[in-house]
Amino acid sequence: MLKLPSTNSLLTFISAAQTASFAKTAKLLCLTPAAVSQQIKQLEEQLDVSLFQRSKQGVELTQAGQQYLYTAEQVVEKLKQGYASLRQLKQQDIFTLHAFPSVATKWLMPKVLDAMQADPELEIRVEASHSHIDFNLSNCDACISFGEQEESLNHQLIFQDNVSLVASPTLVNEQLAKSLNTLLTLPMIHIDWGDDNQFLPGWKEWLRAAGYQEKEPNKGPQFNLSSMAIEAAIQGKGLLLGQDLLIQNELKSGQLIKLSPITLPLKKAYYLIYPDRTKDKLAAMQFIKRLSSDS
The CA distance from 84 to 76, in Å, is 12
Q: Model confidence over 230-253: pLDDT tens digits? A: 999 999 999 999 999 999 999 999
Q: What is the pLDDT of residue 86?
A: 61
Cα distance between residue 72 and residue 138, in whole Å: 21
pLDDT of res. 254 = 94
- The burial of 26, by beta-carbon neighbours within 10 Å (0-12 exposed, 13-18 middle, 19 or more buried), is given as buried
Highest averaged pLDDT of the listed ranges 69-73, 161-165, 283-287 = 161-165
Name the band, by pLDDT with cuts 50, 70 and 90, for residue 174.
low
What are the residues facing 128 on neighbouring strands? 99
CA atoms within 13 A on the CB side of 291: 28
Alpha-carbon distance values, 41 to 10, 64, 167 (Å): 12, 14, 66
Q: Rounded mean pLDDT of 254-269? A: 94
Q: In this predicted structure, what is the pLDDT of residue 178?
A: 65
Q: 19-51 pLDDT, tens per residue?
A: 999 999 998 888 898 999 999 999 999 999 999
Tell whether the model's pLDDT for residue 4 goes beyond 60.
Answer: yes
| Nearest in space to 227 (alpha carbons), one of 282, 189, 265 | 189
| 94-99 and 123-128 beta bridge pairing | parallel
d(CA 209, CA 215): 12
Q: How many CB atoms lie within 10 A of CB 233?
A: 25
Residue-level pLDDT at 215: 92
Extended beta strands in 111-251, E state: 123-128, 142-146, 154-159, 162-167, 190-191, 222-223, 240-243
Q: Identify the pLDDT of residue 276.
A: 92
pTM of the entire predicted model: 0.64
The reported pLDDT for the residue numbered 250 is 95
- Contact, 61 vs 51, CB < 8 A? yes
User: Are 54 and 65 a contacting pair, CB within 8 Å?
Assistant: no
The residue ranking higher by pLDDT, 121 or 89, is 121
pLDDT 10s digits, 116-170: 888 777 788 898 988 888 888 788 899 999 998 888 899 999 889 999 999 999 8
Q: What is the mean pLDDT of residues 276-292?
A: 83
| Cross-strand bridge partners of residue 241 | 165
Portion of the chain with pLDDT greater than 90, in percent: 54
Is it the case that residue 89 has pLDDT exceeding 70? Answer: no
CB atoms within 10 A of CB 158: 22
pLDDT, position 41: 93
Mean pLDDT of 211-231: 94
Query: CB of 38 within 8 A of CB of 90?
Result: no
Average pLDDT score, the chain: 88
The answer to whether residues 226 and 281 touch, using CB atoms and an 8 Å cutoff, is no
